[in-house]
Structure 1
Amino acid sequence: MYLIDKDCIIFDIKDNTKEEVIQTLVCKLEKVGNIDDASQFYQDVLKREKLSATVIGDEMGLPHGRSQCVKRPCLCFGRLHKPVIWDEKTHEEVRYVILIAAMKQSANDIYMKMISSLARKLMHDEYRMILTNGTKEDVYRFLNETMQS
C-alpha cells in the first residue's frame, strides 16, 4: 500500500506560519480523498502540536494526528519557499514538512511505526537531501519505500 500520492507532494509553499502550512497540507489530503473533513483533521493535528512541537531538527517537521476523519493512513509532503517558526518556545524553524495522518481506530503501534520510521531515516544526510533537493518523483519513491521497510 502506498502512503503518499504524487499529488500530495507540494513544492514552494508560500505560507508564513506553521498553522498555514498544516492547513495547506491537510486540504491537499482532503482534495485527493484521503480524509473526510479537513477542518476536523486540522484541529486534531493542532491539538497534537500543542502537546509539543513536532520539529525534529535540520528544518524538518513531522506534524501528525490520529482522527476519525482519516480514511486510510497517508502522508503529505511540503517544501516551503522560506522557513517558518515551528516551535514558539525555541524559535526553531522548519522548511520541510511531512504530515502524517492515521485513522483514529488504527493500532497505536502502526501509527508510531510511521513516525519512528521517518524520524530514523531523516537522521541521515543522504535521506534528508532527497527531501530538500529531490524531484517529486525522488520524494515519492523515498517516502513510499521508507514506509514499506
Structure 2
Amino acid sequence: MADLGKSHHFSDFLKSTQVVYELQAKEKVRAIEELLDVLFKEKLIKNKKLILTRLVDREQLESTAIGDHVALPHARVDTGGQIAIAVGRSEKGIDFDSIDKKKVHLIMLVVWNPSLPGLFNHLFAGLARFLRKPEYRQRLFEAKNKGDLFKVLSEIELTMPQEDRIISRASLLAKLQEIALRKKKASKDQLRELRKHAELIREELDEPLLTRFDKLMERYGFAVAEVLDGACQGCNMRIATKMNSAIEGSNDIYICENCGKFLVAPRKKKK
C-alpha cells in the first residue's frame, strides 16, 4: 500500500484485470454484482454476498452517482486485505438515480478495509478533482478499448485533501445531522432504521471529522450550518468572499473560522 500522505496514482490500487471495458449489466445492482465478480475472481474480496448487501444499503441511503455520467459505489468492509477497486464502462448507460438524472457510463467500485480510516476520502478527493474536468471525463468515455481506458485511469493523481476542505462529504454530514435530530422523535422501528443509516455514513467518514461533528452536536445541538447571503447560519458571522463563492453549488465541506461548524451550501428547494 502506498503512503497515503504522499501523492501517487490510481494505478497503485488498480490493475488492468480489474477493468471491464463493456459491462453486460443493464441495471444498477447487476452492474455492482458484475464488478464484485471481477474482484472475487482476482481474490481481492471473500464474502461477496455481504459486500453486495453493504453496497446496496449504501445506494438506498443516497445514490453514489456523482453526476456527469459517473458513479462511485463504495463500502467499508473487511476485504481480507486493504482495498479492492473495479472499474466498469457502459456505453448505453445505467440508471443510478443520479442527482442530474443522467445515466451512468462509468462505475468505479471501491471496497476498503475498516482498519484504514481516511482511505476512501483520499481516493475520492483525487477522483473528484480528475472527474470534474470535462476533458478528462471525455477521454474515459471515448476510450477505444480496455487498454486505453486503463491508461487514462492510470493518470489520475491522488493526494490527501486539505483539513479545512473535505471533498464531496457535505451531503453526508448534513444527512448525519438530520438523522441525529430525527432520532429524538422517532419510534422504535424508525430508530432502528435511522441508526442503520447513521452507521453507514459514519463508516466512510474520517475519525477526526466525526470527532469534530460529535463535539459540535453535543455542545450546540447541531454541527452543520448553511451559508446564506455570505453568512454562517450557525453564528451569523460573515465568511470570506472566496470561501463563500467556493461553497455555492458545492458538495465539499468548509469550516467556519468563527464557530467551527461545518459549512455547506443551502439545500435546493424541491419544486
TM-score of the two chains, using structure 1 as the length reference? 0.87
Structure 2, unpaired ranges of 5+: 2-11, 160-271
Q: Where is the strand percentage greater, Structure 1 or Structure 2?
A: 1
1:147 deviation in Å? 5.0
Q: Given the superposition, is the C-alpha separation of residues 57 and 37 from structure 1 closer, same or farther in structure 2, using an over 3 Å criterion? A: same
Q: Given the superposition, is the C-alpha separation of residues 23 and 5 from structure 1 closer, same or farther in structure 2, using an over 3 Å criterion? A: same
The alignment status of 1:101 with 2:111, answered yes or no, reads yes
The alignment status of 1:36 with 2:49, answered yes or no, reads no
Structure 1, unpaired ranges of 5+: none
Q: Given the superposition, is the C-alpha separation of residues 115 and 132 from structure 1 closer, same or farther in structure 2, using an over 3 Å criterion? A: same
1:69 deviation in Å? 2.9
Q: Given the superposition, is the C-alpha separation of residues 70 and 55 from structure 1 closer, same or farther in structure 2, using an over 3 Å criterion? A: farther
Q: Which has the larger radius of gyration?
A: 2
Aligned residues: 148
1:13 deviation in Å? 1.3
1:139 deviation in Å? 2.9
1:6 deviation in Å? 0.7
1:67 deviation in Å? 0.3
Retained in 1: the 8 A contact 2:85–2:111?
yes
* Higher relative contact order, chain-length normalized (CA < 8 Å, sep 6+): 1
Greater shift, 44-53 or 19-28, is seen at 44-53
C-alpha separation in 2, matches of 1:90 and 1:127: 19
Matched residue of 2:55: which SS? helix
Other-structure match for 1:83:
93
TM-score of the two chains, using structure 2 as the length reference? 0.50
Other-structure match for 2:32:
22
Other-structure match for 2:70:
60
> 2:124 pairs with 115, 126, 130, which one?
115
Matched residue of 2:14: which SS? coil
